[in-house]
Amino acid sequence: MNGLRVVSYNVRYGGVGREPALAAAIRSARPDIAILQEATRPAVVERLAGETGLRHWGCRRGDSLAFLAREAVVSAAWHRPRFSRHAFLELVPSSAEWRIFGVHLSAVHAAWTERRRLFELRSLLTAIRAHQDGPHVLVGDFNTVAPGDLFDFRHLPARLRALVWLSGGRVRWRTIQAVLDAGYCDVFRGLHPDRVGYTFPSWRPHVRLDYLFVPHAFVTGIVSCDVCEGAATRDASDHLPIVGEVRESGSL
């Protein structure tokens, strides 16, 4: 039984000047594929490829999603659904058994941005409908809170607390519920129902913004899913990476 390890990591503002720290954080997760958000600088992604040993990479200047891979991929494509802030990344690894969709939804914790995230998410699901019967992963920075997760607004900076107040003092977190209603499993929560799994901010995590989902039909293909914590990840970015492993080679 072979496993494919996938890391999702928001590298913050392109990652310029923090390449060694980011590379150390990625290496600590031992991925086969890394899906990066806010990775807008091809030169940074190329350097990370060299420093992590994930020598196959793809990045489009100005787009948030990029990737690093240990083996050459079959295909990589960026798609921007109508009105979405970021293109999503469609990646077919060398095995071509699991398809990976990298996600980065709009930021800011407010009612109007949650409505935008919900629209972006539904546009993504419509765009990938042709692949929803096969094994695939939705992974990335969803910038929103899952049903049942705790989120204390008092930890937010003052300017962000003001945005919550201006949008009515509360946010109806509907985006992750829409993913679940579409037939996906929140892999981390399914494996770790009693762990908070906070991913942001790295220096004082208090909210989970980064997720890995698979269709319920392929949950048996999941090996593990964890948040990467420790010295290597604390200062490299404002997000902590998450890493999931899925079974390959006909073992589903």
Q: Which of 33-42, 77-86, 97-106, 135-144 bottoms out in mean pLDDT, i.e. has the lowest?
A: 77-86
Q: Which of 74-88, 108-122, 155-169, 229-243 bottoms out in mean pLDDT, i.e. has the lowest?
A: 155-169
The rounded percent of the chain whose pLDDT value lies above 70 is 89
Q: Is the pLDDT of residue 150 over 90?
A: no
Count of the separate structural domains present in the chain: 1
Q: Is the pLDDT of residue 52 over 50?
A: yes
In this prediction, residue 154 has a pLDDT band, given cuts at 50, 70 and 90, of low
The CATH number of whichever domain residue 48 belongs to comes to 3.60.10.10
Q: What is the pLDDT of residues 83-103, one digit of tens each?
A: 788 999 999 998 878 999 999
pLDDT in the model for residue 2: 77
pLDDT in the model for residue 167: 46
pLDDT in the model for residue 1: 44
Q: Is the pLDDT of residue 250 over 80?
A: no
Distance set, CA 24 to CA 49, 65, 118, 238 (Å)? 12, 20, 34, 15
Closest CA relative to residue 233, chosen from 31, 15, 23, 50 = 23
Overall average pLDDT of the 181-207 stretch:
94
Q: What is the pLDDT of residues 206-219, one digit of tens each?
A: 889 999 999 999 99
Q: What is the pLDDT of residues 108-117, one digit of tens each?
A: 767 778 889 9
Most confident by average pLDDT, 42-56, 86-100, 101-115, 164-178: 42-56
146, 211 Cβ separation under 8 angstroms: yes
pLDDT in the model for residue 39: 98
Distance of alpha carbon 226 from alpha carbon 244, whole angstroms: 6
Domain span including residue 125: 2-248
Strand partners, 102: 89, 139
